[in-house]
Structures are given as C-alpha cells and as structure tokens.
Structure 1
C-alpha cells in the first residue's frame, strides 16, 4: 500500500552510500521487514534490527493475557555494500564502572592492564606520568583512566534513551514525538556534516531539528499541515546567526480544485492522502459532500 510506495521512492532518491532507518512497533514489524524492506532494498542490504527499549522495567502497560510490550524496532538498511557508518560509543554503565575501574588516584578512576610489549622509552614515559605499575611477580602493568575511554561500542539494543516525558524541555506536544537523543545517534551513525537527511514522515519534527543542529542539510515532508507548523516553530526556537536559511511550502486543496480534477488524478490523490477510499469524516475534512468529485 502507501508505505511500500513511499519506501520505493525513498530508495530511489537515496545516494549509493546512504541508509534508511524505519521505526515501527510490533503491530506490523514482520510485514514491513519481509514484504517491504527486504524486497525493495534486498536482504543483502539489511544491516540491523535495532531494539529501542522505550520503557523502564515494570513501566509498560499491564496486559492480562500476554507479556507487556516496552520496545520498538528500528530497521536499518543500506542502499549498497559501500555505505556510511560511524561506530557509536555509549557511556560505561555505572555498574561496569564500579566493576572495572575500582582504583583511583589524583587523576581519577582507573583500571590496570598488562603491558605486553614495550620499549625502554615507553617505560620511562609511563613512569613520568605515574602510570606504571609493577605487580608482585615483577610484571609490568599500566593505568588506563576512565576519562580516556570513549565508552563501550553500542550494539543493537538501545536501552539508554528514555522516551520524551511530560516534563521534558524538548516536548512539543506531538503524540508520536521521538527523543532527540535517538535521532542524534542515528544521524551521527550514518552521515557526516553536510550530508542530507530526509524525513518523509516528519511528525513533530525531531529528525529535522536534530539534523539542523548537527549541520546536516535536511528535507522534511508530512501530509499534515499541523506537523509542518509544529516543525517550523521548533526550528524558529533553535535558530541563531549561523543557522542556514530554509523554506516552508504548504500545498492546500480547496473544493473546486479537487472537484474538477481528472478522476484518475483524484483517485491517486486520495490514495496518497489516506491510503484508500476516504471515510465520512475524511470526506468532511476535505470539504466534500460524500460523492466522488
């Protein structure tokens, strides 16, 4: 249906080194992966099924006859074998810090590691920096400080990014709003400054706002005029002297424009807007009288 058509168009405009990230929940994830993404991008270009644990343990809605659901899926596909990928580092979990970095000195917490190969110059340098350790067996070891470590390489389970709560500063009130940290990780992982980010399901504008902050070029699309206005207001709040200019284009349809459209063009418009024949409410929203225009 409409999703398949949009994914086909997304692949068409994607650069060879580009990637797509499609977020969904459990309702249609199997269909989206097997019948849309695998077929359009090819199974050989599947990279990851990222699990975003968006709720803390015990906070998911209780369900009487099955397990609670507290995660969503983000499918990561590339257009080719030669694609942009920048490894993601996350902070050491507090438990890991306590477990691995048990000792500390005037420079901070550290762990010690074996000095397998070394030269006299290396030993002298470590001595000067007070990083050399000689254990009871006479083996050389050295200090690795916590602040020298990037962290740990992220895997495909992301449980360190909470959803946007009711008190969050970034909250704009859009029902499906995603946290900026989630989009920041994705954009940094798959693009460089100056690259272009396209979000054809713009919603509350998180991807666009984050792409703008990260000095990416961007393009956002949404059939909802409200989504466009919410995103525009969000961008206005974060603009400064160095922000690149942007344009907003709203396509409005009045009764006469739709009434006198070619029948097939009107049918195509209906499919794009609603994914099928409109119901009574949708016809009312369009200003139609319930009859084919």
Structure 2
C-alpha cells in the first residue's frame, strides 16, 4: 500500500530501490515468525538526483583470486587472468570492495545502547548515516519533516551536513535539541567486524589477530584474512604462522596464495 501511495505522490518513475533493513531482535515470538527486518522505499525528486556509491568489504567466502588478481578478456571474450610478457599473473590494482546492495545488516538498538532515548520509533544512527551518505555530500542540507527523536538530524550533523527537523510533538523537538547538544552514537562491533567473522573456520589462527581490524577468508589455504585497510589501494593478505611452520614456510605459503591461481 505504501508503495502505491508513494508512486502517486512522487511518480512511479522516481522509485529507485526497495531497501531491506535486516537486524536481530531481543524478544521472543511463540506463535509467529520473529520480525527481523523493515522496508525502506527510496524515491528521488526527479530523474536527476545525487547518488554516491558505497563500497563494502568482500565476503569471507569470496574467492581470494578475484580480489588479488586482475582479469582480462581473451580472443574468445572469455574472462582470464591477466598476465605480463613473461606469463606471470598480474597483481590486481586498486580494489574498492563490493557496491552496497539493497539488503542492509545494521543492528537494531539494543535495550542498553548509549544512544537509546526511549522514543518508541527511534532508529539507530548507523542506519541514518548510511542513507545520508548515499544521497548527500558534506555541506548539503538534510530535511526530516517528521524528525521524532532526532536521529536523522544527529546523523547529519555527525557527517558534516546541515539539518532541518520538523515535528508536531513538543517533546520530540525538545528531545532532538538535547541530542544535538550532546550527540551520542553507539558503535556496533558486529557491524565493524562483519557477521562472517564470527563463523570463520580457522578460529585459532584468527584469535591471534585480536586487536587488528581484518576481514577473514575461508576459501584459501594460504591466506587467513585481509587487513581492513589497504596499502595504496592494494589489499594486504595475512597468514598466521602455524605450529611447526617456519617463518620462511609461512611467507612462502602466503606468497603462493597471493600470486598464483
């Protein structure tokens, strides 16, 4: 129903995406499936609109070769690994990650979250930050005509945007003012590390990387993870030295995994 109404208001041609906000809830549902998502309908004002592509990290199950090595097309237009004049596989250049999809895994505010205000419809700042990054740049103006607890305004302010909020409730307006005076944002370890980081097969090796921001991988015997930050746009693979393995052997395994198919 909401889609039909919004098509009538903005025009069906201005519909851009249906976004699924997926999260975990801290409640039980005995006689029905537990609600764990909400829908966000993305409309533009017209055909000419601002859209900033957001890149996310590679999945741990992504084939490492696809990240490290560059591909080209042969005479049959088949995708093959690019090679230099000596026949060696060419190391990939700058990799920005995977473009953001229309399914967003952003944690719901837990009952003890620092930013929780008690407002019944409050959304996490992380969610509004992602929406704002998609469609605005620093210095732009963000309008929320039903600002409620003020999360949109807080997120916009933290991202260097100007913000205008409107609400019929005086309590909502006062709450928003207080939040803008002292913005509080809850950081999510789950979102920062990634859901798959809790499901990796090599728990022992990755436990030794505690304190390092990384993305674990599963489909490679020589590489355990990638650093979250790249060096000059190039992903940095990691390997934890195994028991009984020399430094030279560990380095050799890492090199082979990084440079060969």
How is 1:1-293 mapped onto 2 (pairs within 5 angstroms)? 31-34=1-4, 36-55=5-24, 61-64=28-31, 66-96=32-62, 99-100=63-64, 111-114=68-71, 139-144=87-92, 148-159=94-105, 161-238=106-183
Measure how far apart 1:60 and its partner are. Answer: 6.4
Root mean square deviation of aligned Cα: 2.9
Q: CA deviation at 1:116?
A: 6.6
State the structure with bigger RCO (CA 8 A, min sep 6), 1 or 2.
2
Contact 1:51–1:71 (CA<8 Å) still a contact in 2? yes
Cα distance change of structure 1 residues 60 and 154 upon mapping to structure 2, 3 Å threshold: farther
TM-score (norm 1): 0.54
| C-alpha distance in 1 between matches for 2:183 and 2:34 | 37
- SS state at 1:142 partner: coil
TM-score under structure 2 length normalisation: 0.60
Which structure features the higher share of helix residues? 1
The 3 A distance-change label for structure 1 pair 68 and 166 is closer
Does structure 2 retain, via aligned residues, the 8 Å contact 1:211–1:218?
yes
Matched pairs, number? 177
Once the 2 structures are TM-superposed, how far is the Cα of residue 115 of structure 1 from its aligned partner? 6.4
**Cα separation, 2, equivalents of 1:226 and 1:43:** 35
Change in CA separation of 1:174 and 1:93 when aligned onto 2, cut-off 3 Å: farther
Write the deviation string for residues 156-176 of structure 1: whole angstroms up to 9, x where unpaired.
Answer: 1112x1111123232233222
Q: Secondary structure at the match of 2:129?
A: helix
Alignment deviations for residues 181-229 of structure 1 (CA, whole Å, 9 cap, x no partner): 1111111111122221111121221100011122212111112222111
The equivalent of 2:229 in structure 1 is none
SS at match of 2:89: strand
Larger Rg: 1
Displacement of 1:72 after TM fit? 0.4
- Would you say the 8 A contact 1:61–1:69 is kept in 2? no
How far, CA to CA, are the matches of 1:100 and 1:37 in structure 2?
A: 42
Q: Distance in 2 between matches of 1:111 and 1:230?
A: 49
- 1:19 is matched with none
2: distance between equivalents of 1:94 and 1:177?
Answer: 32
- Structure 1: stretches of 5+ with no match in the other structure: 1-30, 103-109, 118-131, 240-293
Q: Report the CA distance between 1:152 and its aligned residue.
A: 1.0
